[in-house]
Every structure is written in C-alpha cells, then in structure tokens.
Structure 1
Amino acid sequence: MTTAIETYAPSEFEALVKSLGQPRFRAKQLFQWIYGKGATSYDEMSNLPAAMRAQLAEEAPLHIPEVVDKRVSKDGSRKYLLKLADGNLIETVGIPSRDDNASGDPRRLSVCFSTQVGCSMACAFCATGTEGFTRNLLPGEMAQQLLAVSRDFGMRITNAVAMGQGEPFLNYDNVIAALKILNHPDGLAIGARHITVSTCGIVKGIRAFGVEPEQYTLALSLHSANQSTRDELMPRCASTPLPKLKDALKDYYEHAGRRISLEYLLIEGKNDDSAHIHALIDYCKGLHVHVNLLPMNDVEGSPFKATSKSTLNQWMRELEDAHIRVSIRDSRGSDIDGACGQLKNRLG
C-alpha cells in the first residue's frame, strides 16, 4: 500500500526502512536527506541503493509543495501560496529579522506555518475562518513549508511558529510529529525554545503540550478577557469559559515551567476600551505570561479596523504599570495580504 513519506514521524523511519528490507542505519540517511538536506527527489539521495530509492518512490512517494504564488513585502517578508499533492492550497510566511549580520544577511529567519487546510474555529477577525475546514496536514507537509521558505531565501530557518492557517491542537499528534522533525538534529535542527505553537484555547491540547519533554513554547490567542466579547470574536471557543482556560494555563506552567504568550489583537471599538484592559490585567493575575499586543492587518470585507496608535501605546503603558510583561508585535507583510487566509482567499 502506498503511504506518502510526509505521513511518517521521525520515530517511524526505522520501521519503514525495515519493511523495505534495508538495515537500520538507512533510516537516518533517509531522514537526513529529506529534512536535513531538503532533497526534492529520491534521485538526489546518492548514498541510498538504487533499488531502495525505486522502492521508496513506489511505496512512500515524496511530495514537494509547489509555490503557486509568492508576494514579497517592502519589509522583506515573503508570503507563499503552496499547492499540496492533492491540490489543496495552504499559506506560509517567511519573516527575516530586521537586524543583519556582518555579511549583510538577516540574522534570523522565522517561518509562520499552517497546520490545517482551512480552519474550523471561525474566528470573526480571521480571513481563514471564512473558508471552513478541509483537512489536517501531515507532519511532513508542515515541515516542507519551512523547507520551501529556506530554499527561497537561501538560508536556514532559525524560528518556527505554528500560527498560520488551522488550529494546531485539533491536529495534535501530527503537529507534535512535525515539531520533532523541526527540532531533530538530523532534520531542520531548530532549537525547541525557538518553536512556538499558537492555540485558540483547546484545553486538552494545552494540558498535553505542557507535559511534552521538549522545551517548545506556547502562545494563546486570547483577544479578550471579557467572556461575551471573546465569544463574539471566537464563537467556537465559547464552550470553554475563561476561568477554565486560565486553569489550563496554570497547569501548563506548573508542568512545563515556561512563560506563556498571550496574543491580543486590538480591534477599534470592540476590545480596546478601558473595561477590556482592566479585564485583561485582572485575567493575568496568577499567570506567568507575556502579553503580545497585535496591530491588526486590514482584511478585505471585514467590519473590523485596527485600533489607533495612541490606544496601542496606552495599553502598553497600563500593562507595564500593572507589572505585566508586554510588547507590541512588529506587524509584517501588511502590503502582501499578510494575515492568515488573505492571499488564498484573494486568489481563490
């Protein structure tokens, strides 16, 4: 039976090569070729026997996503529309750091990758929410997004964020397998603390993520600490009351010992008034968190608008006065349909 190589987690490569009648060490070679060297064909894998390569092509085909559209921002970020083997489209963003090394190249390259085709969460402010859910991505389909960006930039990926299309914790097992590929020394070799997963608040996933042995980081898309406002903005999260979510965040910190990022998209007239900032300050009590305030990218057809710069700065000051760690995220790619789902929807 044919099973795409993208299906396999790192721990499953040995069983695959064994099923082909090959010795165990071939598993490491195969894994290195695909995820360490970014091979785009089995033909490139020169230290594997020709018979093994032929078997792999037949029984475990390697699919490389096709870049069907690319937008380059004036700030250096690049957004890609990738076509998968089954014809589905996903989005990926490459974000070079603004600071350069001695050679004039960016010191870091971050990738925001998708974990699902579409998304079932239907968040009101998100362009992806308008298209619905199609399917989960395989571990290799997530890793190949980073390899596509690495090839295009001609440099290695230093940071990865599962903050593209999809809710990662509704595809938990495949996402964890993908993170292991990204972190593996024979794979993309990205440090675990430089790999972040962003969730809308799937409690079961948050608790499971807290006991994973690797030092991955967690981001929560909060966007309001007022229950009615959050339910309006994130209707599929309404079944999880904010106190229950807070308990899960406490459990996560107790087990993982790692500070959590709270993502807060400031929307004019919706969640940016004094009542909402006081609700956020109160919610942060007892939590080990860092608040990321997010300027909103305009989404065509959306009724929401970005809050003013003065309001953004006011929130920054009030959170600092409350002794809460806070930063304003550097908004990138607004001129290239940078928000999740924008490019795909525009071209679809």
Structure 2
Amino acid sequence: MNPETLAEWLKGEGEPAFRAGQILNWIWKKKVASIDGMTNLSAALRAKLAEHFRLHALEHTHTQGSKDTTRKFLFRLHDHRYVESVLIPANPALYGEKSDRRTLCVSSQVGCAYGCKFCASGLAGFTRNLQPSEIAGQVLAAEMLSGERVDNLVFMGMGEPLANLDNLLAAVSIITSDWGLHLGARHLTISTSGLVPQIQKLADHPQQIRLAISLHGATDDVRGQIMPVNKKWGTAELFGALDYWNSKKKQHLTLEYILIDNVNDSLEQARILAGHARRLNAKVNLIPYNTVEGLEWVRPSETRCKAFRDILKNAGVSATLRLEKGHDIDAACGQLRLKQETEEGIIEAPMKQR
C-alpha cells in the first residue's frame, strides 16, 4: 500500500493519517518482521492491522554462491511457488555503471508465457503475475540477506515485466519513493522481449526508467528462431517503438544479445546489429549463452564472441562482452526455481526443446 491508500483506511478506523507513515517506515526502512514489532503503535491498532492485513516477507529457502561472488536467492511465496533473484557484484561492463555498484536482477512473474528459446523461465509455462509487494519484497529480502545496499535494479529475472506492467509500476513506486526503498528511477532497468504496445505505454510514464531489449537476432528470420514474440511484433514494429521511446526518454537504450553458437553469432548478424544500434544510439550488451539443462543450445567460443564484439566496436557502437557472472550457480533465469519445483513435484520435468 502507499501512504494515501493506507491513510484512507486508517481514517475509516478512526486513526490519524500520520500513522500511515509510521507503518510504512517500519516495513520498508526498519524491515520489521511482524506487525507486533511496530512498537510505537498502540496494541489496539496493531490488532486491527493483523486482522485486516498480511505482512508476509518472502521466505528465503536457498542461496547459491558463485566464485565471482554473484549470489542467487530462491524465495518461496505465500502460495508455495518459487521465484529467484540474483545479486550481481560490481562490474564496469554492466550497463556502463561504475565499478562500485551492486545490481539485483528481479523477477516479475512465476514462470513466463513468452517461451524465449534460451531461457529456463518458460520451460514449465506461466503460473501467475507477482504482486507489487512480491516484486519490491525481493529487494528488501536481498538487502537483508546480503547486508548490502542494492544500487541498481534490473527487471530481467523470471517473467516478462511488461506483461505485468500495472503491478510492475506499482512496485517501482514503492522502490523509488522516499517512504519506500528510495532508489532513483535512473538506477532501474526494465528488460522486455519486445511487447510493442507496452513499450510505448512505458515511454509515456514520467519516471526516467531505463529500457533494455532482449533482441538476440538482428533480422526477423534469426530472431524468430529464438524469440516467439517476434511473430507478433517483428523487428520493424519493435524498432518503431524504440524510436518512440527515444523521443520521450533521455537514457540510452540497451540491446541485449545472447550469443548462441551457429544460431545468431554470424559476423553478418553483427554487421546488421551494428546498423540498428548506431541508428538507435543504443548500447549493446553481448552475453555468451548460459547453459540451461533441458535446452540444446551451445555457447560460442570466446574467440567467436570477441570477433562479434569487435565488429560492433569498429562500427562505432558502444558494445560490451559480458563473460557472464554466475555461470557456476545455475544463474540462467528461472533455472534454480525450475529445479526446486520439479523436485517438490509442483511441476513436471520439462521435455527438452529446441
């Protein structure tokens, strides 16, 4: 809840509006574990809150720690489904940020309906959208578990963020507000597989949020092999939406491009990608494919990846090759959650697909 809606509820209970600020301060600043812990509220008010509201922190069930200090957290939700978040240590190559930053990769859905061919999130299909509290709660939980302040957020974990846009923007309000987690909107990046109408809607949103596009193919024939969403909104429509975004926002776009051996890593694709990126004034983030059990894709050699990057750089495009962090901890989106829910019999083991 935000201060206005909570104050309105308090008014109906005969309580002063300023209590809303106290309650939200307990939750988002002091990270209280229970309503009973809100000690500056009367016993009567705490009883009312307990009767009408649920204060349910995400249940941390597992952490995988990586050699490069990347950590993946697995959280159980109130309905016993799972989501995961990844805390990524400082990396000067990640979105061009300084080297003293900690980035949290946050989930927006349980599962995913978009079926990107490289991703574990959609292997067991889509279950449900996350609520705003469950999205923002991942940040709160990660900070408590790590003892570190999260400097940057990337909504590119499990799920398609723009398919849950209303809840996502409500979570962004919590995350960026003074009464919430107080993280500047410019430190938030939303990644999408290319939902054109929602990109346009987000472009009209007043906050200066960053946008990353899961492109993974510079032409329709190549992208269509990897991104089923390309059948609904092809590259021409997608790039048109990105032109609209550029007309509304100041931050540079980022084009995410996972390099898959003999699928999208040809040097011709690099040359075409360079033309798109140069016209859009976009940065390109190259990521060698992260192996996912159940999928048959292969990551290219490091030499091949560097050759692809060098074509972009030689064309004047800002391009980084992220020899990705967390490769030793099942860091591909949805991979740890998929293992856990399969072990518990919540979902059946997915069939291999290509």
Alignment of 1:164-179 (within 5 A): 164-179=157-172
Instruction: Give the letter aligned to residue 133 of structure 1.
Output: F
Separation (CA, whole Å) in 1 of partners of 2:5 and 2:273? 43
The Cα of 1:49 is off from its aligned counterpart by 2.2
Question: Over residues 9-57 of structure 1, what are the superposed CA-to-partner deviations in whole Å (9 max), with x where a residue is unaligned?
Answer: 5653333333433222111222221122222211121222222221111
Separation (CA, whole Å) in 1 of partners of 2:336 and 2:201? 32
Q: Which residue of 2 aligns with 1:269?
A: 262
Separation (CA, whole Å) in 2 of partners of 1:250 and 1:11? 36
Separation (CA, whole Å) in 1 of partners of 2:42 and 2:113? 44
Q: Which residue of 2 aligns with 1:341?
A: 334
2:284–2:320 Cα contact (<8 Å) kept:
yes
Alignment of 1:35-184 (within 5 A): 35-97=28-90, 107-184=100-177
1:230–1:238 Cα contact (<8 Å) kept:
no
Separation (CA, whole Å) in 2 of partners of 1:196 and 1:163? 8
SS in 2 for 1:129: coil
Separation (CA, whole Å) in 1 of partners of 2:24 and 2:189? 23
Q: For 2:230, which of 220, 227, 237 is the aligned residue?
A: 237
Q: Which residue of 2 aligns with 1:103?
A: none
Separation (CA, whole Å) in 1 of partners of 2:184 and 2:136? 15
Q: TM-score, normalised by structure 2?
A: 0.90
The Cα of 1:158 is off from its aligned counterpart by 1.1
Separation (CA, whole Å) in 2 of partners of 1:321 and 1:151? 43
The Cα of 1:290 is off from its aligned counterpart by 0.6
Separation (CA, whole Å) in 2 of partners of 1:285 and 1:11? 44
Separation (CA, whole Å) in 2 of partners of 1:315 and 1:265? 11
Instruction: Provide closer, same or farther for how the CA distance between residues 154 and 277 of structure 1 changes in structure 2, counting only shifts above 3 A.
Output: same
Q: For 1:14, which of 7, 14, 18 is the aligned residue?
A: 7
Q: Which residue of 1 aligns with 2:24?
A: 31
Q: Which residue of 1 aligns with 2:199?
A: 206
The Cα of 1:319 is off from its aligned counterpart by 0.7
Q: For 2:209, which of 178, 202, 216 is the aligned residue?
A: 216
The Cα of 1:304 is off from its aligned counterpart by 0.5
Q: Which residue of 2 aligns with 1:295?
A: 288
The Cα of 1:322 is off from its aligned counterpart by 1.1
Instruction: Provide closer, same or farther for how the CA distance between residues 323 and 98 of structure 1 changes in structure 2, counting only shifts above 3 A.
Output: closer
The Cα of 1:212 is off from its aligned counterpart by 1.5
Instruction: Provide closer, same or farther for how the CA distance between residues 216 and 11 of structure 1 changes in structure 2, counting only shifts above 3 A.
Output: farther
Question: Over residues 152-185 of structure 1, what are the superposed CA-to-partner deviations in whole Å (9 max), with x where a residue is unaligned?
Answer: 1112211111111010111001101111111112
1:196–1:219 Cα contact (<8 Å) kept:
yes
2:220–2:230 Cα contact (<8 Å) kept:
no
Instruction: Give the letter aligned to residue 111 of structure 1.
Output: L
2:109–2:128 Cα contact (<8 Å) kept:
yes
Separation (CA, whole Å) in 2 of partners of 1:11 and 1:140? 16
Q: Is 1:185 the counterpart of 2:185 in the alignment?
A: no
CA RMSD of aligned residues (A): 1.6
SS in 2 for 1:204: helix
The Cα of 1:134 is off from its aligned counterpart by 0.6
2:267–2:311 Cα contact (<8 Å) kept:
no
2:3–2:20 Cα contact (<8 Å) kept:
no
Separation (CA, whole Å) in 2 of partners of 1:277 and 1:18? 60
Q: Which residue of 1 aligns with 2:244?
A: 251
Q: Which residue of 2 aligns with 1:308?
A: 301
Q: Which residue of 2 aligns with 1:3?
A: none
Question: Over residues 114-140 of structure 1, what are the superposed CA-to-partner deviations in whole Å (9 max), with x where a residue is unaligned?
Answer: 000110001111011101111110111
The Cα of 1:330 is off from its aligned counterpart by 4.8
Question: Over residues 251-279 of structure 1, what are the superposed CA-to-partner deviations in whole Å (9 max), with x where a residue is unaligned?
Answer: 01101122110000000000000221122
Instruction: Give the letter aligned to residue 84 of structure 1.
Output: L
Separation (CA, whole Å) in 2 of partners of 1:323 and 1:303? 34
Instruction: Give the letter aligned to residue 208 of structure 2.
Output: Q
Instruction: Give the letter aligned to residue 275 of structure 2.
Output: D
Separation (CA, whole Å) in 2 of partners of 1:52 and 1:162? 36
Instruction: Provide closer, same or farther for how the CA distance between residues 237 and 23 of structure 1 changes in structure 2, counting only shifts above 3 A.
Output: farther
Question: Over residues 80-101 of structure 1, what are the superposed CA-to-partner deviations in whole Å (9 max), with x where a residue is unaligned?
Answer: 11111111111111123269xx
